[in-house]
Structure 1
Amino acid sequence: MSEAVAGTEAPVTAGNRTLAAAGAILIYAVIIGFTDNFVRVIADQGGLWQFHATRSVMALALFAVAAPVLGLRLWPRNPRAVAARSLVHGTAMLFYFGSLAFLPVAVVAAGLFTAPIFVLLLSRFAYGERIGPFRIVAVALGFLGTLMVLDPGEGTLSPVLIAPVIGGFLYALGNLATRRWCAGESAETLVAGFFAMLGLYGALGMAVLALAAPEVPGGAAGFVLRGWVWPSASFMGWTFVQAAGSLLGIVMMVKGYQMAEASRAAVFEYTILPCAAFWSWFLWGEMLGGRALLGIGLIVAAGMLIALRRKG
């Protein structure tokens, strides 16, 4: 990966706008928390790879329409750096979603949310960035809160958990790449690259499944193994909601990472958990227990700590 972006790193000269970054990522969390609650509807009718391919086509079409109207710059200044970042982030999502075939969603999410820990370690040991004690405590609090919300239980002992943890590492690397490799790129350029990569992965996945022709369980259980199926109106409608919501949400997340160091901005991504929990309650009537509520409290405390202690 370092060879792919050799000589492309832009200097990080902008100051940290921590509170603005927190606000942008909070908007992202509210939007994604809503749209991701309807993946269960999509999974019951279609496949993961068709979903990625269809959503990417929709998102890129929306970009093509909006670009001339809003004056968006989609073509990257450094195509190699943007392609490398898109590859890393897209592959992280493959590890994450691929793990759902073998592990409960809570365990997979717990593995992916090791990302801020990896951001911290990579910032310190790969880039020599000073990491103060308060940010270390904030990340530890946020991670502990995540475990309490997800309550992974005995599944954490499964060797298969290495897959979502690898996804967490790649997700962290992609978040660092947002600021380190692609500091001169617009948010819309990075988001377009991300969707293009997921679209390529989706097309490749459907091609492989067409050749392999595996036995596919019915309903949501077949989400990962299901190839192309004739899409229903519901599948297309909710996939469009996903495309539009993800487009806006990820733009806000990218802007957040461009306004603050990745080790600071990553902590605020924990807010997606209480946002998703709220939408689950509002939409489906799913309630959180006391342990999960305490975990959300720790997540909020982590965000406040990182925002208020700007110098460490």
Structure 2
Amino acid sequence: MRATKDHTLAAAGLICTYAMIIGFTDNYVKVIAAEAGLWQFHFSRSCLAMLLLGLLALPFGLRLRPVNLRAVAARSAIHGLAMVIYFGALAFLPVALVAAGLFTAPIFVLLISRFAYGHAIGPVRILAVALGFVGVILVLGPEAMSGASLAALLPVIAGALYAMGNIATREWCPEESAETLLAGFFVALGVIGAVGMVALALWPIAVPLGTDGFLQRGAVWPSGTFYFWTFVQAAGSLLGVGMMIRAYQITDASRASVLEYIILPASAFWSYVIWRETLTPLAVLGMVLIVAAGMMIALRARVQES
């Protein structure tokens, strides 16, 4: 039977932990991109993640077999495509513009939940989405909204796909375990990565040096540094994305998507700790708005659940 009870406060805790883990691991993508390509990264990370998941399945009694294979496959393909577009856009667009596009996802979640599934969306959640999005723009800076072009639509498409995948988690896959959806996500990314490597092997193209060649680079013989940080990425993603999936299973997608805004201040925190990258006062104000949006959702949910 489908579980419909909401546990928004528990979901908030899961998403905050997910944000801290992913914020740390994603700061090292630039190290990976310096010597390997997007496609090899996704394929290698997926292989390592599935190996770890397989090793954990028996001792912890994890259920990996899907209840509805078609629903899991469809959700996995949507989320996988969103992540490939997101990482791929980083190769030729400013990081600020790409991130701003992806974080339009809560807007799409709100619209899809309302018009496709008929969910009631209260004024508090509408205000929280608007407040959080303004916070995102302030964190990313004015350049996030400049240079609009056809290519700049790609991150927005990634945001729409990401929103669809998040809604599918609760609407299409309510009976699936978090580990089943996690396995589907990594299998989809692994398949996409393998297809990319094969395509570049058959039709090679010129590859710029360093991180500039992240999108165009095919399979290479990377160093131990690549494998170490890809393993960290795999382990971190396995734990973090698993928590995120569980959060979307236990609360409404439009609530969880707003709480995901916390990943920006989490990433900024790790950027300062690891690379000593500092923030402008405007960005700090944006983070305050982001946290406020999450608190509005959590406090509103507490009132409704009490």
Q: SS at 1:45's partner residue? A: coil
Q: SS at 1:57's partner residue? A: helix
Which residue does the alignment assign to 1:287? 278
Which residue does the alignment assign to 1:5? none
Q: SS at 1:74's partner residue? A: coil
Query: Shift in Å at residue 107 of structure 1?
Result: 0.2
Which residue does the alignment assign to 2:94? 104
Query: Shift in Å at residue 266 of structure 1?
Result: 0.6
Matches for 1:1-312 after TM superposition, within 5 Å: 11=2, 13-153=3-143, 155-310=146-301, 311=304
**2:219 is aligned with what amino acid?**
W
**1:277 is aligned with what amino acid?**
A
Work out whether residues 119 and 173 of structure 1, in 8 Å CA contact, stay in contact via their aligned partners in 2. yes
Give TM-score scaled by structure 1 length.
0.95
Work out whether residues 145 and 299 of structure 1, in 8 Å CA contact, stay in contact via their aligned partners in 2. yes
Q: Distance in 2 between matches of 1:134 and 1:127?
A: 19
Work out whether residues 148 and 291 of structure 1, in 8 Å CA contact, stay in contact via their aligned partners in 2. yes
Q: SS at 1:127's partner residue? A: coil
Q: Distance in 2 between matches of 1:92 and 1:171?
A: 6
Q: Which runs of 4+ in 1 moved over 4 A?
A: none
Aligned residues: 302
Q: Distance in 2 between matches of 1:101 and 1:279?
A: 22
**1:246 is aligned with what amino acid?**
S
Query: Shift in Å at residue 16 of structure 1?
Result: 1.1
Give TM-score scaled by structure 2 length.
0.96
Work out whether residues 107 and 152 of structure 1, in 8 Å CA contact, stay in contact via their aligned partners in 2. no
**1:51 is aligned with what amino acid?**
F
**2:180 is aligned with what amino acid?**
T
Identity over aligned residues, as a percent?
Answer: 62
Q: Distance in 1 between matches of 2:79 and 2:214?
A: 21
Q: Distance in 2 between matches of 1:152 and 1:51?
A: 31
> Unaligned stretches of 5+ in structure 1?
1-9
Q: SS at 1:309's partner residue? A: helix
Give per-residue Cα distances to partners, 1:129-187, cap 9 Å, x unaligned: 00000000000000110011111525342231111111100000000000000000000
Work out whether residues 110 and 152 of structure 1, in 8 Å CA contact, stay in contact via their aligned partners in 2. no
**1:236 is aligned with what amino acid?**
Y
Give per-residue Cα distances to partners, 1:264-310, cap 9 Å, x unaligned: 11111111000000000001100001010000000000001011112
Work out whether residues 106 and 152 of structure 1, in 8 Å CA contact, stay in contact via their aligned partners in 2. no
Work out whether residues 19 and 240 of structure 2, in 8 Å CA contact, stay in contact via their aligned partners in 1. yes
Q: Distance in 2 between matches of 1:218 and 1:126?
A: 45
Give per-residue Cα distances to partners, 1:83-137, cap 9 Å, x unaligned: 0000000011122122122211110110010000000000000000000000000
Work out whether residues 38 and 88 of structure 2, in 8 Å CA contact, stay in contact via their aligned partners in 1. no
